[in-house]
């Protein structure tokens, strides 16, 4: 037993070399299976011991054929398996509460042997596992706000979290903390200030008649203490993709509604909805800006531009009053249809949102020709940023820390050219 795991050592047949040792890890609290650590076919384990910190397993492997004993070690977090020492003699009994003081006595001897394994524990040349640990990729990198020297990496393997200290060069190649089996595929894990917030317990809610499942349980895991510090039940959190959740200060969770038409703030202490952020669909200040009006009036959609090219100057001089009236009516109808389509985009679902570093301004995109700017303090809709010549997406965009400016990449639909736009979010206009 360790503070976190129940270890079961199993011996399995392995090819023609004999047996191989597997260490099966189970949770010390729930006794559920977590993972396995493999040894190698040369291990003839007779006795195992676990360090007091629960980080390493030390085993003694006496061989009657050679009359020697190997001391082997497993790292329970990185799954490294090393053969650290070999000496003449057959160990009868051994103990290792600390890697600095590994004790044992051999058959026929009246004294204790002592080994210091610390000096060789980081020597990678001693790694002896023929089964290499599966190298899984990193899915997300999360900085740790108040403790910027640490970053947390979510692995592609479900439930695996690695903590890296980016301020210590000697630890550049190794994470300082690795956690496995903390959450499942269907759970959502969010990190903030070296704490992991896990939304789980997905199922139908008893508060509504709808059968749509919601997250009803919150687990808070402290990465420093390596233990769960809170379990909150009775939540009503609408399921969203992992990237659509943001953990704010004071245990406030930001996410999207079930129909993705607005943002929701959940208070995780009480489990209730604290507020909703909805657009008001008012005319933005950008529409009243003369410079923008002039620029937009010169940019026509491709179909309209081709239609106007068919009407030559000499044709206009020769056209009758009736033809001119019909042409102006068609132009007005096209402009009206284009405006109707732009107005219809105001009811699109939220595609993505960006939150400023101080958590005071949020910008939402709708896969449309507009963006909405909201104030997190008052939950008000501040501005609607519009550009009739380009779809506004936040896939390639950057928001200032205080939320004062937004830089976004655009692609002109008429000119077929890319460009960058700097928006002044304090006034809702294109920055000078």
Least confident of 7-16, 196-205, 349-358: 7-16
DSSP category for residue 350:
P
**Which residues are registered as beta bridge partners of 59?**
48, 72
d(CA 198, CA 267): 14
Q: Are 133 and 160 in contact (CB under 8 A)?
A: no
d(CA 127, CA 3): 26
Confidence at residue 432, expressed as pLDDT on a 0 to 100 scale: 60
d(CA 414, CA 301): 6
- Whole-model pTM above 0.75? no
Confidence at residue 15, expressed as pLDDT on a 0 to 100 scale: 65
What is the pLDDT of the chain when averaged over all its residues?
Answer: 81
pLDDT above 60 for 305:
no
Who wins on pLDDT, 300 or 32?
A: 32
User: Residue 338, class by beta-carbon neighbours within 10 Å (0-12 exposed, 13-18 middle, 19+ buried)?
Assistant: middle
pLDDT above 80 for 169:
no
Average pLDDT value for residue range 418-425: 91
Which tokens hold the place of 361? 């301004």
Confidence at residue 380, expressed as pLDDT on a 0 to 100 scale: 92
Terminal Cα distance for the chain, rounded: 66
Strand, coil or helix: 29: coil
**Which residues are registered as beta bridge partners of 29?**
none
Dihedral, 269, 273, 275, 277 alpha carbons, nearest 10: 120
Confidence at residue 155, expressed as pLDDT on a 0 to 100 scale: 87
For 5-36, b/e burial (b = at least 16 CB within 10 A) is bbbeeeeeebeeeeebbbbebbeeeeeeebbe
Which tokens hold the place of 229? 């510090």
Least confident of 47-56, 123-132, 374-383: 123-132
**Percentage of the residues of the chain whose pLDDT score is greater than 90:** 19
pLDDT above 80 for 266:
yes
DSSP category for residue 392:
B
Over the stretch 78-113, which tens digit does the pLDDT of each residue have? 788 888 888 888 888 888 888 888 888 887 777 888
Which CATH fold would you assign to the domain 138-277?
A: Lipocalin (2.40.128)
Least confident of 69-83, 140-154, 169-183: 169-183
pLDDT above 50 for 302:
no
Confidence at residue 219, expressed as pLDDT on a 0 to 100 scale: 92
Confidence at residue 134, expressed as pLDDT on a 0 to 100 scale: 54
Strand, coil or helix: 124: helix
d(CA 376, CA 362): 7
Confidence at residue 102, expressed as pLDDT on a 0 to 100 scale: 87
DSSP category for residue 317:
H
pLDDT above 80 for 189:
yes
Confidence at residue 276, expressed as pLDDT on a 0 to 100 scale: 93
pLDDT above 50 for 286:
no
pLDDT above 90 for 360:
yes
- pLDDT interval class at 423 (50, 70, 90): very high
- pLDDT interval class at 375 (50, 70, 90): very high
Strand, coil or helix: 384: strand
Q: How do 68-75 and 56-63 pair as beta strands?
A: antiparallel
Confidence at residue 69, expressed as pLDDT on a 0 to 100 scale: 85
Confidence at residue 308, expressed as pLDDT on a 0 to 100 scale: 43
User: Residue 54, class by beta-carbon neighbours within 10 Å (0-12 exposed, 13-18 middle, 19+ buried)?
Assistant: middle
Confidence at residue 362, expressed as pLDDT on a 0 to 100 scale: 95
- Secondary structure tally for the chain: helices H, strands E: 4, 30
- pLDDT interval class at 65 (50, 70, 90): confident
Least confident of 241-255, 324-338, 348-362: 324-338
Determine the distance from the C-alpha atom of residue 430 to the mean position of all C-alpha atoms in its chain, rounded to a whole number: 32
DSSP category for residue 237:
E
Residue spans of the domains in the chain: they are 5-126, 138-277, 280-432
d(CA 366, CA 372): 9
- Write down the residue that tokens 């492997």 correspond to: 61
- pLDDT interval class at 298 (50, 70, 90): very low
Q: How many residues does the chain have?
A: 432
Give the residue among 39, 85, 40, 41 at the shortest CA–CA distance from 60.
85
Give the residue among 268, 239, 264 at the shortest CA–CA distance from 254.
264
């Amino acid at each position: 037993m360790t503070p976190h795991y129940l270890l079961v050592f199993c011996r399995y047949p392995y090819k023609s070399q004999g047996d191989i040792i597997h260490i099966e890890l189970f949770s010390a609290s729930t006794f559920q299976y977590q993972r396995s650590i493999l040894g190698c076919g040369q291990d003839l384990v007779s006795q195992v011991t676990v360090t007091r910190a629960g980080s390493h397993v030390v085993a003694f492997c006496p061989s009657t054929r050679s009359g020697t004993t190997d001391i082997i070690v497993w790292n329970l977090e990185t799954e490294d398996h090393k053969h650290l020492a070999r000496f003449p003699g057959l160990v009868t009994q051994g103990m290792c509460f600390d890697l600095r003081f590994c004790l044992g006595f051999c058959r026929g001897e009246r004294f204790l042997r002592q080994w210091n394994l610390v000096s060789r524990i980081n020597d990678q040349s001693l790694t002896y596992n023929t089964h290499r640990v599966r190298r899984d990729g990193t899915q997300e990198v999360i900085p740790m706000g108040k403790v910027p020297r640490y970053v947390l990496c979510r692995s592609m393997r479900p439930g695996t979290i690695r903590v890296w200290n980016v301020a210590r060069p000697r630890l550049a190649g190794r994470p300082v903390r690795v956690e496995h089996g903390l959450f499942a595929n269907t759970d959502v894990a969010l990190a903030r200030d070296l704490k992991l917030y896990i939304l789980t317990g997905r199922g139908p809610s008893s508060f509504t008649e709808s059968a749509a499942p919601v997250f009803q349980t919150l687990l808070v895991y402290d990465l420093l203490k390596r233990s769960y510090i809170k379990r909150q039940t009775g939540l009503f959190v609408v399921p969203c993709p992992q990237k659509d959740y943001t953990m704010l200060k004071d245990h406030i969770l930001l996410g999207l509604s079930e129909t993705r038409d607005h943002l929701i703030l959940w208070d995780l202490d009480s489990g209730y909805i604290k507020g909703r952020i909805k657009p008001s669909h008012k005319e933005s200040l950008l529409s009243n800006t003369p410079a923008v009006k002039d620029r937009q009036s010169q940019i026509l959609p491709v179909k309209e531009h081709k239609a106007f090219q068919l009407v030559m100057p000499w044709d206009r001089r020769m056209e009758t009053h009736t033809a001119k009236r019909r042409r102006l009516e068609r132009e007005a109808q096209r402009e009206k249809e284009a405006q109707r389509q732009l107005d219809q985009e105001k009811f699109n679902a939220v595609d993505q949102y960006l939150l400023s570093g101080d958590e005071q301004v949020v910008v939402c995109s709708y896969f449309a020709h507009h963006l909405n700017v909201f104030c997190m303090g008052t939950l008000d809709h501040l501005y609607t940023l519009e550009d009739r010549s380009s779809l506004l997406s936040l896939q390639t965009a950057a928001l200032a820390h205080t939320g004062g400016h937004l830089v976004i990449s655009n692609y002109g639909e008429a000119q077929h050219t890319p460009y960058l736009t700097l928006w002044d979010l304090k006034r809702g206009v294109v920055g000078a």
